[in-house]
Amino acid sequence: MNLLITGGTVIDSNGGRQADVHIADGHVVETCVPETTIDATGLVVSPGFVDLHTHLREPGKEEAETIETGSRAAALGGYTAIVAMPNTDPTQDCVSVVDFVRRQGITAGLCDVRPSGSITVGRRGTQLTPFAELAAVGVKLFTDDGNGVQDPQLMRRAFEYAKGLGVTMAQHCEVEALTGGAVMHEGDCCSHLGLPGWPALAEELMVHRDIELVRLTGAPAHFLHLSTARSVELVRAAKADGLPITAEATPHHISLTDDLLRSYSAIYKVNPPLRTMDDVDAVRAGLIDGTIDAIATDHAPHVSESKEQPLDQAPPGMVGLETALGVAIGHLDMPLADIVATLSWKPAKIAGLEEAHGRDIEPGSPANLTIFDPDEEWEVVPAMLASKSHNTPFVGVPLKGRTKHTILNGEFTVKDGQATR
């Protein structure tokens, strides 16, 4: 398809400018004879978004999400690539499962689905997976997400092994000895409600341990879904020391606080938990000053029957792919180009996808693009989500910014706000 996008504001790592964009043969080109023209007046044209943290639930929990429904939700959110988390059943701990996820992604054709691999077999925390074999089939991020690796000796070996392979360990930071039975952030609200708490310290201790393991081994680390003020401080100091560390924050940790649990609704139960306003402010400040590199959704679909259980039994997690942009623009006091950086080229680099995604919009770049309205104010209606699960906490939260078109390898995956397949 030869496509011309006229009148939009192009935003990439060079900043913003008014420019027309020509696309032919799946790439941005100098000029083309257009078959289709899109009027992008008032819209932003940017490199496609890249999500470092998507739970697609297939294989194993297809009632909550499939690779197809999850990648459709991603495309509608403006994403052209997503990293699939490994806590599937079976676990993404071997080449066959990783290949299955990748192939299902290609079949769906809605988003570039890049499977992560688990750090330990079955995510059980006792035996490392075959990193080299997994790296050879393109796995770049390794994580036991859903759990942190508890054993410091095993984690040291993981970093040492990773270093020679050029892959990155991504940690879900939670010292489980401190969070047993927890349903929400440990603090005033939690004591008032009489519920078991998940202390900030449980995250911070593991952030601290892994920073020291990075210092020891020289291997890179990425911190998933940082949620506390002290975690942000630790990462800021580690980066100032020049350590190869990156970090992400979720849309819900920059917009929602623990007092929402007063409703006793498990829609607000998530790992790590919603924290205090001070933590929200610190995470926002971390994104603004670059301590936190990326916004990652931690899109975690769960069927309504499971989320309707009492707080202690309901699983943690929220969907987020279709609302991330609207939450980010609405809740971050930072220049639009910097917000797009946290959604696109910075996570693309962390995921090792910078050849195909997050590229500057110039001739020769693959046409993986998002066209969005930065000013549209809207409200999410759960039943309208493309995700198979509707466990969003953003009902009634004003959102600002919405995807209009998403282009993957020069073809529309979303056109006029509708998925094309």
Q: Whole-number minimum distance, CB 316 to Zn ion, in Å?
A: 9
Which segment (41-49, 124-132, 229-237, 315-323) binds ligand NCD by CB under 6 A? 315-323
The site for ligand NCD, by CB under 6 A, has a size of 12
The SS3 of residue 348 is: helix
User: Of 51, 293, 298, 373, which is the active-site residue?
Assistant: 298
Nearer to Zn ion, 72 or 172 (CB): 172
Contacts of 321 (CB under 8 A, 6+ apart): 51, 54, 70, 73, 74, 76, 77, 79, 82, 297, 299, 387
List binders of ligand NCD among 38-97 (CB under 6 A): 55, 87
Q: Are 292 and 286 in contact (CB under 8 A)?
A: yes
Q: Are 406 and 76 in contact (CB under 8 A)?
A: yes
Which partner, Zn ion, ligand NCD, none, binds residue 270 by CB below 5 to 8 Å per kind? ligand NCD
Q: Is 331 exposed, middle or buried (0-12, 13-18, 19+ CB in 10 A)?
A: buried
Which partner, Zn ion, ligand NCD, none, binds residue 104 by CB below 5 to 8 Å per kind? none
Q: Whole-number minimum distance, CB 240 to Zn ion, in Å?
A: 26
Nearer to ligand NCD, 64 or 329 (CB): 64
Should residue 269 be labelled a site residue for Zn ion when binding is judged by CB under 5 A? no
Which segment (73-81, 313-321, 336-344, 391-399) binds ligand NCD by CB under 6 A? 313-321
Which segment (69-77, 227-235, 314-322, 337-345) binds ligand NCD by CB under 6 A? 314-322
DSSP E strands in 201-256: the ranges are 221-223, 245-249
Name the residue number minimizing CB distance to Zn ion.
172
DSSP H stretches of helix in 241-371: 277-289, 304-307, 324-331, 336-343, 345-350
Identity of the amino acid at 155: M
Binding-site member from 72, 172, 252, 388 for Zn ion (CB under 5 A): 172
42: its two tokens:
């008032």
- Specify whether 298 is catalytic: yes
Q: How far is CA 108 from CA 31, 204, 351, 404, in A?
A: 30, 38, 21, 20
Cα gap 206→105, rounded to integer Å: 33
Q: Whole-number minimum distance, CB 146 to Zn ion, in Å?
A: 6
Nearer to ligand NCD, 109 or 315 (CB): 315
Cα gap 210→216, rounded to integer Å: 10
The residue among 156, 92, 100, 104 whose CA lies nearest residue 130 is 92
Contacts of 392 (CB under 8 A, 6+ apart): 267, 318, 319, 320, 323, 380, 382, 385
List binders of ligand NCD among 283-312 (CB under 6 A): 298, 300
The SS3 of residue 143 is: coil
Binding-site member from 46, 271, 342, 413 for ligand NCD (CB under 6 A): 271
Which partner, ligand NCD, Zn ion, none, binds residue 316 by CB below 5 to 8 Å per kind? ligand NCD
- The DSSP letter of residue 142 is E
List binders of Zn ion among 120-159 (CB under 5 A): 145
Residue ranges that bind Zn ion, judged by CB under 5 A:
145, 172
| Residues annotated catalytic, as ranges | 298
Residue ranges that bind ligand NCD, judged by CB under 6 A:
55, 87, 145-146, 172, 270-271, 298, 300, 315-317
